[in-house]
Amino acid sequence: MKIGVFICHCGENISSTVDCPRVAKICESYPGVEYSVDYKYMCSDPGQNLIREAIQLYKLDAIVIGSCSPHMHERTFRNAAFSAGINPFMVEIANLREHCSWVHDDIESSTLKAIELVRMAIEKVKRDKPLSKINVPVTKRVLVIGGGIAGIQAALDVANAGYEVVLVEKEPSIGGHMSQLSETFPTLDCSQCILTPRMVEVHQHPKIKLLTYSEVVKVEGFIGNFKVTIKKKARHINEDLCSGCGMCISKCPIKKKAYNSFEEDLAFRSAVYIPFSQAIPNIPVIDETVCTYFQTGKCGMCLKVCDRGAINFDQKDTVMVADIGAIIVATGYKLYDIERKSADLKYKGYGEYGYGKYRDVIDGLQFERIASASGPTSGEMKRPSDGKEPKKIVFIQCVGSRDDSKGISYCSKICCMYTAKQAMLYRHKVHDGEAYVFYMDIRAGGKMYEEFVRRAIEEDKVKYIRGRVSRIYEENGKYIVKGEDTIAGMPVEIDADMVVLATAMIPQDNAPALARTIGIPYDKYGFFNESHPKLKPVESTTAGVFLAGACQSPKDIPESVAMASAAACKTIILLSSDTLEREPVVAKVNEDLCAGCFYCQKVCPFGAVEVKDVKDINGIVYKEVAFINQGVCQGCGTCTATCLSKSIELSGFNNEEIFAEIAAL
């Protein structure tokens, strides 16, 4: 084998601490090295030409480049090698810049290290095998998980590009949290007015199949070829027959047994219900847990009044399997629970604010419902306990957020803005009321955001107090809010009628479970991880799965929408070709040696390992061996280390290559 070694000076970046000519000269003496040279800029056009010419002149089989990190220019050099006629995977890079010249001062020791690094690369390249890219077909259908604003936006964008979309929403209606909001900052336009047309569009779009009251239970396969199992929960209503007239709802005798979760438990709903009047689809759901028929076997009032015969008490959960090419995850967020949850001590809750004991200490979404014209108070400012108009209201920011002692270190990003908005809305509705805001800092980065906060303070006379609240307790129907004004350096006590806590945005409860189902990583809070924090913000690390909205980190509406469109765009790029090209760094099983213990299957994070029968000449299966689906394998190599008989090799990083590197130390 003839190997060429090319040492780059990177201007002076490498050559200032590494004696590049010496490295090149020493490498020339190694067995197998046919040609060795150093040059000022290997990645430049003349540099690449030098490589190409050397490959052709010396008939090189493989090359080693001593340059910057492979993350930087591996592709460049592979292409150069390819254009000169050698397999792009017969190229190894020794990282002489980031791992050597930039981090060491002493010329002698860094030169010696550089020699060793190049030597390791030479030994590895000797064992390299030519690889070719893998092609996999693409199913042109997209799954969007979550029907909030991010999911709606992503679904519409993909569908408008002409691809089929399956939109799965776990609630009976799409719309998400945005449909609960009263008005949006910083424009104070009505949230539902801008959202509902988009919801309708989703419903009517010929390319979108909408599955509400459904959940993703299993994801198999790989980019371009996922197989997704979706469970459609029983509504007990025949969706084809129901006209959405609402007769069943108005006649249902169970009126006050269940809280309306859309109204954030500020109102009741009947046993058969539509979450809210603009729900899409406008089809009710029967709640088995409170319905008299399901509890006692009697009643059946809805059955009697439905003239379309759409009520079906026997309906069962159904499961369907869809072929999917790409997945957009847009599961959104929930709010930090201030109540005491003995079952889940992940977050501690706020005992000092009464653990939800006081009915007038509410969270931001509850306030949204009170302020909303379609809410339980029809938009009138009334406090939940006695329906009185609160004359003094306190908003507390950063409840949960930025509070390590309660388990969350991050900033929830939107609370400063929505608190300002809510205080403003309150002042607009209660002209003689006083609004106080306890804050740590005001974070109003965004177009017209800072101006909006200033407006709340200056025009609407909201009183901002910088400090934390240490305790809230009830006295004489008032809520005594004890806190500190850190600017004045004084303790403050406010006897408020109502307190609104701007609780932190946290991931949905089932986010980690869903992440495991799909096979994407998540951080310690449960937010899904993007592939690269800067350059790949909408891709998950699993190929073919994209992220949109607040499931990745706290976001406001415009950011969620932007991310959704970005994810849609990435998906469309993926679906635009009929086949996919993948890097050939995948694991391969030696079937002769495989003992069939299937530990590889157990450790494979992607489910790439399948069972393959091996037959003798009579066609009788005599052993089962592991088989790695090259389309699914992501090339982590965990199986190779787990395999006890070493029957699996990871192409491009096989054991022989690594042993050679170790030997060259």
Partner 1 sequence: MDEKIILKDDLLRICGDVIDKGHILLCPVMNEYSIVKDFSRIKLDASALPAGTSFKCYVFPKTEPVLYYKRSKSDVQLIDVNIDRKNIVILGAKPCDANSLNIMKHLFNWDYSDEFFNLREKNFIIIGLMCSHYDEYCFCTSVDSSPVSEKGSDIFLIPVDENKFAMRIITEKGSEFISPYAEYLKTGDENISKQITENVKLPKVAFDSNEVYEWLGENFESPKWEGIGNLCLSCAKCAFVCPVCHCFDIVDEDYSYTEGRRMKNWDGCQFGNFTMHASGHNPRDIQSKRYRQRVNHKFRYYVDKFGEILCTGCGRCSRGCPVSIDIKEIVSNCKD
Partner 2 sequence: MDNQKWEPKIVAFVCNWCTYTGADLAGTSRMKYPANTKMIRVMCSGSVDPVFILKAFERGADGILVSGCHPNDCHYNAGNFHARRRWDFFHELLDFIGIEKGRLQFSWISASEGKKFADVVSKVTKDIKAMGPFTNYQKMNSEFTALFPEEANADSEIINQIKETVL
Partner 3 sequence: MNLLKEVFMKYGYFPGCSQTGSAKEYDISLRKVIEKLGVSFDEIEDWSCCGATSAHVTNHKLSTALAMRNIMLAEQQGMENIIAPCAACYNRLIMSQFEIANHSGIRKETEELLSASFQKDVKVFNVLELFLNIGIDKIIENRKRELNDLKVACYYGCLLVRPSGLTKFDDAEQPESMEKIAEATGAKTIDWNYKVECCGAAHSIARRDIVVDLSKKILDDAKYHGANVMIVACPMCHTNLDMRQRVMKRTYPEHEDFPVLYITELIGLALGMDEKELGIDLHFIDFNYKDLVPENSGVG
| Chain residues in the site for partner 3 (CB under 8 A) | 340, 348, 350-352, 354-355, 357, 405, 471, 473-475, 480
- The three-class DSSP label of residue 349 is coil
Lookup: tokens for 52: 């190409």
Instruction: Tell me if 617 contacts partner 1 by CB under 8 A.
Output: no
Select the binding partner of residue 174 from partner 3, partner 2, partner 1, none (C-beta < 5 to 8 A, by kind).
none
* Binding-site member from 9, 73, 78, 113 for partner 2 (CB under 8 A): 113
Q: How far apart are CA 70 and CA 194, in angstroms?
A: 47
Instruction: Tell me if 592 contacts partner 1 by CB under 8 A.
Output: yes
DSSP 8-state secondary structure symbol assigned to residue 608? -
User: Using an 8 Å Cβ cutoff, are 587 and 628 in contact?
Assistant: yes
Instruction: Tell me if 660 contacts partner 1 by CB under 8 A.
Output: yes
* Binding-site member from 38, 123, 263, 661 for partner 2 (CB under 8 A): 661
Instruction: Tell me if 344 contacts partner 1 by CB under 8 A.
Output: no
Q: Which residues contact 648 (CB under 8 A, 6 or more apart)?
A: 587, 588, 589, 590, 594, 600, 626, 628, 639, 640
Tell the burial category of 46 from Cβ atoms under 10 Å away from its Cβ (0-12, 13-18, 19+): exposed
DSSP 8-state secondary structure symbol assigned to residue 389? P
The footprint of partner 2 on residues 52-91 (CB under 8 A) is 69-71
Instruction: Tell me if 523 contacts partner 2 by CB under 8 A.
Output: yes
Instruction: Tell me if 112 contacts partner 1 by CB under 8 A.
Output: no
User: Using an 8 Å Cβ cutoff, are 6 and 39 in contact?
Assistant: yes
Instruction: Tell me if 664 contacts partner 1 by CB under 8 A.
Output: yes
User: Using an 8 Å Cβ cutoff, are 484 and 476 in contact?
Assistant: no
Q: Which residues contact 19 (CB under 8 A, 6 or more apart)?
A: 107, 111
Instruction: Tell me if 655 contacts partner 2 by CB under 8 A.
Output: yes
Instruction: Tell me if 519 contacts partner 2 by CB under 8 A.
Output: yes
Instruction: Tell me if 405 contacts partner 1 by CB under 8 A.
Output: no
The footprint of partner 1 on residues 4-43 (CB under 8 A) is 29-33
Tally the C-alpha atoms within 13 A of residue 494's C-alpha that lie toward its C-beta. Answer: 26
The length of the chain is 665
Select the binding partner of residue 340 from partner 3, partner 1, partner 2, none (C-beta < 5 to 8 A, by kind).
partner 3
Q: How far apart are CA 218 and CA 215, in angstroms?
A: 9
Q: Which residues contact 86 (CB under 8 A, 6 or more apart)?
A: 55, 60, 61, 62, 63
- By CB under 8 A, how many residues form the interface with partner 1? 11
Question: Using CB under 8 A as the criterion, what x/- string covers residues 313-332 for binding partner 1?
Answer: --------------------
- SS3 for 594-639 is CCCCCHHHHHCCCCCEEEEEEECCCCCEEEEEEEECCCCCCCCCHH
* Binding-site member from 16, 22, 41, 98 for partner 2 (CB under 8 A): 98
* Binding-site member from 312, 374, 529, 629 for partner 2 (CB under 8 A): 529
Give the β-pairing of 490-496 and 392-399: unpaired
Nearer to partner 3, 416 or 504 (CB): 504
Select the binding partner of residue 275 from partner 1, partner 2, partner 3, none (C-beta < 5 to 8 A, by kind).
none
User: Using an 8 Å Cβ cutoff, are 117 and 99 in contact?
Assistant: yes
* Binding-site member from 134, 161, 457, 658 for partner 2 (CB under 8 A): 658
Instruction: Tell me if 473 contacts partner 1 by CB under 8 A.
Output: no
Instruction: Tell me if 466 contacts partner 2 by CB under 8 A.
Output: no
Give the binding site for partner 2 (CB under 8 A).
Answer: 69-71, 95, 97-100, 102-106, 109-110, 112-113, 116-117, 120, 519-524, 529, 531-533, 541-542, 585, 603, 605-606, 634-638, 640-642, 650, 653, 655, 658-659, 661-663, 665
